[in-house]
């Protein structure tokens, strides 16, 4: 059992009457020869690493290697405890957790590339906030990670998840689409609606450039991960409400790829354009590099 496009995945889900997560798990067993227990165990560890990173940032914040970030998650969580966040509790926590994972990543802590290290905050942020809000089990969240993997696999296969190739739309955009689809599944959406959520999430991030100050995974990456988590929640909610996405997922993946090819090299992880090229971005860059 294998699939190469969203429409093939949806056909399998319909014929077998299974969710996307189950289709991806069956594919994994088929292509690698592993068994269900072993595959779930690896995913379970990944989820625990994600949770560990969120916890670490909340309880023991550390400055990043480049010194541009550190302590943002704790600040946002502290405000959320004191008062009502303007964006609501779930969204505020999702964003804070995403910021936190990026702090852990940037200070040489343990994370799960999902799909990349630069976008590793999005899925843990969205997942943990929703898990807490609705009281879901770790088992349910682990299963849902297979849904994220299905979407991420299709984007990797048919476009790219590399910022150097296609900009931030391919990294945080992909992570956001993966989370949107999985959240929709967790909340009871059909496989069709899951891919609609993923397609909307990609669409909302089309054209986003990759412009890290000093080439480091700190600024603007950290806040974009928070945005990716928020985008995932919004897109899942739209799909769950029955709002259609006019552009099918496979076409949106192609669009992502073609837009990526038109993003100039300065805006693809080279630190030569965008935020990195702003006067402040350049000043911070030379300060970091003069430290060696």
d(CA 289, CA 214) in angstroms, rounded, equals 8
Q: How far is the CB of 175 from other proteins (least distance, A)?
A: 10
Q: How far is CA 128 from CA 93, 101, 116, 142, 245, in A?
A: 8, 11, 18, 11, 26
SS (H, E, C) 223-282: HHHHHHHHHHHHHHHHHHCCCCCCCCHHHHHHHHHHHHHHCCHHHECCCCCHHHHCHHHH
Cβ proximity of 154 and 202 under 8 Å: no
CB 89 within 8 A of CB 80: yes
- CB contact burial 18-55 (16+ within 10 A = b; e otherwise): ebbbbbbbbbbeeeeeeeeeebbeebbebbebbbbbbe
Q: For other proteins, give the closer residue by CB, 115 or 173.
A: 115
Please say which residue, 80 or 109, places its beta carbon nearer to other proteins. Answer: 109
> What is the closest distance, in whole angstroms, from the C-beta atom of residue 40 to other proteins in the complex?
10
User: Least distance from C-beta 149 to other proteins, angstroms?
Assistant: 4
CB of 147 to other proteins, least distance (A): 10
Of 66 and 281, CB closest to other proteins: 66
CB of 28 to other proteins, least distance (A): 5
Q: Which residues bind other proteins (CB under 8 A)?
A: 2, 24-25, 27-28, 31-32, 39, 42-43, 45-46, 49, 64-66, 104-118, 120, 123, 145-146, 148-150, 152-153, 156-157, 161-162, 164, 178, 214-218, 271, 288-289, 291-292
Contact at 8 Å (CB) between 257 and 158? yes
CB of 168 to other proteins, least distance (A): 14
91 vs 202, beta carbon nearer other proteins? 202
- Give 85 or 191: the residue with its C-beta nearer to other proteins: 191
- Smaller CB separation from other proteins, 79 or 140: 140
Whole-number Å distance between alpha carbons of 171 and 165: 10
């Amino acid at each position: 059992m294998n699939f190469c496009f969203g429409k093939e995945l949806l056909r399998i889900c319909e014929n077998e009457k299974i969710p996307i997560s189950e289709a991806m798990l069956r594919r994994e067993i088929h292509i690698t020869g592993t068994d269900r227990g072993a595959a779930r165990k690896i995913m379970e560890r990944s989820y625990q690493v994600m949770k560990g990173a969120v916890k670490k940032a909340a309880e023991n914040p550390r400055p990043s290697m480049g010194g541009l970030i550190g302590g943002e998650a704790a600040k946002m969580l502290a405000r959320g405890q004191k008062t009502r966040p303007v964006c609501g509790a779930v969204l505020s926590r999702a964003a804070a957790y995403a910021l936190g994972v990026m702090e852990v990543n940037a200070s040489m802590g343990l994370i799960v590339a999902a799909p990349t290290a630069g976008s590793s905050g999005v899925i843990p942020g969205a997942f943990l906030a929703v898990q807490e809000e609705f009281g879901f089990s770790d088992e349910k969240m682990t299963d849902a990670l297979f849904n994220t993997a299905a979407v991420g696999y299709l984007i990797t296969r048919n476009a790219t998840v590399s910022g150097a190739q296609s900009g931030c739309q391919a990294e945080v955009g992909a992570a956001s689409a993966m989370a949107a689809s999985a959240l929709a599944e967790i909340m009871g959406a059909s496989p069709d609606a899951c891919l609609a959520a993923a397609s909307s999430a990609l669409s909302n991030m089309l054209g986003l450039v990759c412009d890290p100050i000093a080439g480091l995974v700190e600024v603007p990456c950290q806040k974009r991960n928070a945005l990716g988590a928020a985008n995932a929640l919004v897109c899942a909610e739209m799909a769950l409400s029955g709002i259609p996405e006019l552009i099918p997922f496979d076409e949106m993946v192609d669009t992502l790829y073609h837009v990526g090819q038109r993003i100039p090299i300065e805006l693809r992880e080279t630190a030569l354009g965008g935020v990195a090229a702003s006067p402040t971005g350049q000043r911070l860059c030379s300060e970091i590099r003069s430290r060696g």
